[in-house]
Structure 1
Amino acid sequence: MDQLAQAAALYYRNFAAVAAERDLTLMQGKMLGLLRRPMPMRSLADLLACDASNVTGIVDRLAARGLVRREADPSDRRVKRVILTEEGEETVRQIRSELMSNLTGLEGLGEEDRRSFQRLLGQVLPAVSV
């Protein structure tokens, strides 16, 4: 568990630095990364483990920069979903690319070892459904 905690801490330090290069906070970067598909604001608050009012502020700042937009959920117009814009998608691609280039230890793993690592992580840390 100590190694897992150290790996997570290293990843988030790296993630925060990469996000900061794009004038994003860690939470703004995390939110962008979660938006693989349109997501209700309440779901974002749950995933980020923060109050809905904090999510509103984060979304406001990202929307002001043109990285996300809000839209009403087609099945319930009272629910607001957050969606990445094209610029937001490009920002996420850049962040992920830079993160991968900084994780040089993964480059040393062969394809079989990478699959095993991913499988083992999935067993230890089951995926969060979003």
Structure 2
Amino acid sequence: MSATAAATSQGPAKLQLLELLAAIGTAQWRDFATAAARHGLTSTQAKVLAQLEGPVPMRGLATLLACDASNVTGIVDRLEARELVRREPSPADRRVKHVVATDAGRETIRRVREEMQATHGALDALDQAESATLYALLERLRPTLEKDA
């Protein structure tokens, strides 16, 4: 019996699930980067915009991006030069700078997400019930995967 047949009769092994999640994540990231590039953004700049649902401290962005705080400064400088973000002092500690998306930044990341053609096409292959099931399953996984982020 092949590994695929075994996975079908007994359910997929964790390794198979991990490989599938990695493949989907890689394809989604590539699609995101391609859409971002059409707006003159690197994938990392677009990722910063995607994280800015509210004010985020510079150090918090470094943690989210898993990079050194000095790298975030350059990324934010370039986004700020394009008026996609602005820095604001923290109300609690004026030494801390928060990064906030501008209206132009929010619009840009909305368009990037909207233009992710490969990802949208893949999701269009699911019917409404399948989409709801996938959403529920991903929501169950999300807290565990994000707790150390």
> Would you say same fold, with TM above 0.5?
yes
Match of 2:3 in 1: none
**1:128 alignment partner AA:** E
**1:48 alignment partner AA:** L
Distance in 1 (CA, whole Å) between partners of 2:29 and 2:70 is 23
RMSD (Å), alpha carbons:
1.6
Distance in 2 (CA, whole Å) between partners of 1:39 and 1:7 is 28
**Deviation (angstroms), 1:27:** 0.5
Match of 1:128 in 2: 146
**TM-score using structure 1 length:** 0.92
User: Counting strand residues as a fraction of each chain, which structure ranks higher?
Assistant: 1
**Deviation (angstroms), 1:124:** 2.8
3-state SS in 1 of match to 2:21: helix
Given candidates 66, 70, 85, the residue that maps to 2:102 is 85
**Deviation (angstroms), 1:112:** 2.5
Structure showing greater radius of gyration is 2
Distance in 2 (CA, whole Å) between partners of 1:90 and 1:123 is 29
**Deviation (angstroms), 1:102:** 3.0
Distance in 2 (CA, whole Å) between partners of 1:115 and 1:124 is 14
2:46 maps to 1:29: yes
Q: What do residues 32-64 of structure 1 show as CA deviations (whole Å, max 9, x unaligned)? A: 000011111111100100000000000000000
Distance in 1 (CA, whole Å) between partners of 2:142 and 2:55 is 24
2:74 maps to 1:69: no
Percent identical residues: 47
**1:113 alignment partner AA:** E
3-state SS in 1 of match to 2:83: coil
2:54 maps to 1:41: no
